[in-house]
Structure 1
Amino acid sequence: MNIKWIMSKPLGNEEAVVRFENMLEIVLPNDYKLCVANYNAGRPRPNVFDTAQRKELVAKALLSFDQTNVENIWTTYENLKNQLPKQIVPFMSDQFGNYICFDYRTSNEAAVVFWDQELSHRNIEKGIIYIANSFSEFIGGLYELN
């Protein structure tokens, strides 16, 4: 399925992505970096995804690499780093304060997981729910509700 991105903002400085990677000592997936270069802060259409446990979750928007944007990756990471397990990196928001994240805990090739803030308050590991093996697989699995 073709993904359209709406409300994206220009990536003012591509060095911001490298600085973020260096700060966290990670390498973000190339397919994600290409997407951000073209659709920084964009909202995907379609935007619905499933996990094994939950259906019809909604992806809102990519977190922006521009620190002046309200929903940016820098502030989000700083605000959540003490609530998330190490090596879980948020990159997209939903409508309810949860995040779609990269999971580097078992590999340098990041899987995509859903961080459910309410479940995480009770048990941090139960709040991390697998979605896909890669960013491309996640984006390719987005669908519209009928």
Structure 2
Amino acid sequence: MATIEDATGGLNEERLADLEMQWGVALPSAFRQFLLTHNGGYPVPDAFTLVGSEDGSSVHRFLGVEVGSHSNLENYMKTYESRIPNDLFPIAHDPGGNLVCIGTGGSNMGRIFFWDHETEMDQGPPNYSNVSAIADSFDDFLDGLYEVNLD
């Protein structure tokens, strides 16, 4: 499993419950626990592959609550709420400005997805045309992270 570095320290339960109420979402338990323990940071190793593809990316940073502006979960929610499907919740970003999201409802509950801004629809409501699966759960996502060998 990945080690989380440069985390800001755990978020308290009351603040996390406020966040969920504010955004009208019940976060999956594994990601809730991650926020309570780490509240952001970056994983080592950090690379992932999309399901059924050789393509992938890396986690530049996990989002946290009340952290710097470049990784503030609430800022990302405000920026992307009308751009990502409403059953996805941003949890991290890659170096290119794409998002890693967690499913918050229905058959996608707890699943991890990659949202690609390069293929985002210009018009209409957000859909899954630019979304790819990464893992069936947050724990599977963390367990599946690997180091890219550039040799």
| Aligned residues: CA RMSD | 2.0
State how 1:101-140 maps to structure 2 within 5 Å: 101-107=101-107, 109-121=109-121, 124-140=127-143
- SS across alignment from 1:102: strand
Identity of aligned residues (%): 24
Distance apart, 1:45 and its partner CA: 0.2
Q: Distance in 2 between matches of 1:114 and 1:39?
A: 21
Q: TM-score if structure 1 supplies the norm length?
A: 0.87
What amino acid maps onto 2:19 in structure 1? Answer: F
The reply on whether 1:81 has 2:84 as its aligned counterpart is: no
In structure 1, the gaps of 5 or more residues are none
Q: Displacement of 1:37 after TM fit?
A: 2.0
* 1:62-86 Cα shifts (integer Å, max 9, x gaps): 10111x5211111100110111111
| Number of aligned residue pairs | 144
Amino acid paired to 1:145: V
TM-score normalized by structure 2?
0.85
Pairs within 5 Å for 1:1-146: 2-11=1-10, 13-51=12-50, 52-66=52-66, 68-70=67-69, 71-107=71-107, 109-121=109-121, 124-146=127-149
**Secondary structure at the counterpart of residue 113 of structure 1:** strand
Is contact 1:11–1:65 with CA below 8 Å preserved after alignment? no
